[in-house]
Amino acid sequence: MLHGLLWLPLLLIFILLTALGWLERRRQNLFRSWASDSELCKLDSSGAASLKNGELKWSAFEAGKFEEKDCFTIKKLELVELMALTSGEAPLTSESQGKCRLRLVGDGKEMDVPFSDAEQAREWMDQLMEKARCDL
C-alpha cells in the first residue's frame, strides 16, 4: 500500500506533463497552418507574428486559436526600434538580452510586437527594414 502511495504523485506528474506536451504540439500545428505561405514568421512565448503579402500581423494564442492583435503595412514602415518590454519608452541597448518588443512606426501609426528573445528581435529588425526598402 505504501509503495502505491509513493508512485501516485509520479503518475500525476506524468499525466500533467503529457497534457502540457499535447497542448504545445497543438499550438505549434495551429501556428504552421496560420503562418503558411509567410515570408517571415515567428512563434515564441510572447505570441506569433507573420509577414505575408506586405502585411505584418501579430497574434496571441488564446482559447485554442490565434487571436489577431494588430496589423501593419510594411510599405509604410519608416522606423523600427528595439524597446524594453516593461520599462516604458526605454530603448534596448545592443548588449541586452531577454524579453523585448519591436516598435514599428509609419504612416502615423505605431505597433509594438513583443519578442521573447532580443537576438531574434534584432534579426527581425534587419529583415523588416530590408523588406520595406524592397517594397519602395
Q: Indicate if the pLDDT at residue 124 is higher than 90.
A: no
Q: What angle do CA 56, 62, 64 make, to 5 degrees?
A: 110
Q: How far apart are CA 86 and CA 11, in angstroms?
A: 39
Q: Which of 44, 54, 62, 52 is nearest to 101 (CA)?
A: 44
Other beta carbons within 10 angstroms of residue 87's beta carbon come to 9
| pLDDT digits 0-9 by tens, 17-74 | 999 999 999 989 988 988 888 888 888 887 888 888 888 888 888 877 888 888 888 8
Dihedral pair phi/psi, residue 105, rounded to 5°:
-125, 135
Q: What angle do CA 124, 45, 117 make, to 5 degrees?
A: 40
Task: Say how far residue 67 (Cα) sits from the centre of its chain.
Answer: 12
Mean pLDDT, the chain, whole residue set = 83
Cell output for 136? 519602395
Order across the sheet with 100-106: list the strands: 79-84, 100-106, 109-115
Domains (range + CATH), the chain: 35-135 (2.30.29.30)
* pLDDT > 70 fraction of the chain, expressed in percent and rounded: 88
